[in-house]
Chain A
Amino acid sequence: MKEVSSLIDRILFYALVPSFFILLYLIFIWSPVEKVMGVTQKIFYFHVGSAWVAFLAFFVVGYYSVRNLIKPNMKHFIFAGASAEIGVLFTTITLITGMIWGRASWNTWWSWEPRLVTTLILWFIYVAYLFIRKMDGSWEKIAKLSSVFGIIGCLNVPIVFMAIRWWNSKLHPIVFGEGKGQSGGGIEPEMLITLLFSVFTISLLYVFLMRKGAEIERMRVIVRNQKNKLMNKLAS
């Protein structure tokens, strides 16, 4: 079983390395330069790819949180924790790349507009979620309490996505679909392919990090059990 797991990790790693090089080629060389924003628009590929993976990670947290709330299960608790951490990482990347893009196109690092505010709230919810998991006490209680935050955060994901469609945001443009007072103009086919490849590569990275994170969480459980065993041994 361990050999299979290590083989999957190796396959993932060897798939990730060329994918990242292809992605860099697509972004910096192959995809066309946007007429208005110039090369700065290329931040879009990292920004949207990271946002997509953050959403995916929080949906995974939401799924395992619901299951944990119904019946606490160590495996689900581990997967939720590993996914939440990656979600926070990619939300951080989304926020920072968004700020840099905002500085280039809006001439400001931050604006209190719906998409940015809801994303920041999402980030805070999952940072709180990670702090709750570090609390002392029985893991079943922590699993139940943190699951509430996990579900609230997951419910916030569609709000973040729909924010620019529900509230008229003049700053944050809609690229795909329709919104209040604006409609998305779409993107060039080359840009779309690059974006899809970016989403694919970052999703692959998510799977890789998720497996690593889950492995570390499992090791923490072993340490806790071994410590308990030692304490019992010393007490008897």
Chain B
Amino acid sequence: MNYLFLATSVVWVLIAGYVVILGKRQKKLQKEIFQLEEWNSEQ
């Protein structure tokens, strides 16, 4: 039972961790794009 619990936890932690990393990356890039577009539009 302990091994099953351990394996299930590992699966969920890794998948959830990856989804969180993707979300953070997306947020950071969105911010960067917004900033760069603003600088580029300035005369």
Residues in A lying within 8 Å of B, measured CB to CB: 39-40, 42-43, 46-47, 50, 89, 92-93, 96-97, 100-101, 103-104, 205, 209, 212-213, 215-216, 219-220, 222-223, 226-227, 229-230, 233
Contacts and interface: CB of A to CB of B under 8 A. Distances in A.
B40 A103 contact: no
Nearest to A44: B7
Query: Which 4 A-B residue pairings sit nearest by Cβ, starting from the closest?
Result: A226-B36, A219-B29, A104-B3, A43-B7
Contacts of B18: 89, 209
Nearest to A88: B18
B26 A219 contact: yes
B7 A101 contact: yes
Contacts of A97: 7, 10-11
Contacts of B15: 89, 93, 205
Interface of B: 1, 3-4, 6-8, 10-11, 14-15, 18-19, 22, 25-26, 29-30, 32-33, 36-37, 39-40
A230 B39 contact: yes
Contact of B3 (A50, A100, A213, A230): A100
A223 B33 contact: yes
Contacts of A93: 10-11, 14-15
Contacts, number: 71
B30 to A, nearest CB: 7
Contacts of A233: 40
Contact of B32 (A40, A89, A223): A223
A50 B18 CA distance: 14
Nearest to B22: A212
Nearest to A227: B36
20 contacts: A40-B4, A42-B4, A46-B7, A46-B8, A50-B11, A89-B15, A89-B18, A93-B11, A97-B7, A101-B7, A104-B3, A212-B22, A212-B26, A215-B26, A219-B26, A219-B30, A222-B29, A226-B33, A230-B36, A230-B39
B7 A209 contact: no
A205 B34 CA distance: 29
A167 B30 CA distance: 50
Given A39-B1, A104-B3, A230-B40, A219 B8 contact: no
Given A40-B3, A97-B7, A230-B40, A209 B14 contact: no
